[in-house]
Amino acid sequence: MTATHDEAADAPLVAFERFVRMHHVTVFRLASCLLGDPAGAEEVTEEVFVGLWHGQRRPPSTADLFVRTVDHCLDKAAPTALFTALRRFGGPERTGWLLADVLHFPAARTAELLERSETEFTPRLEATRLALTHWLAP
16-69 per-position pLDDT tens digit: 889 899 999 989 998 998 899 999 999 999 999 988 888 665 567 888 888 889
Residue 75 φ then ψ, to 5°: -65, -30
pTM of the model: 0.77
User: CB-side exposure of 129: number of CA atoms within 13 Å?
Assistant: 10
79-107 per-position pLDDT tens digit: 888 888 888 888 889 889 988 998 888 99
Q: Residue length, the chain?
A: 138
User: CB-side exposure of 116: number of CA atoms within 13 Å?
Assistant: 18
C-beta of residue 62 within 8 angstroms of C-beta of residue 19:
no
Residue 23 φ then ψ, to 5°: -115, -5
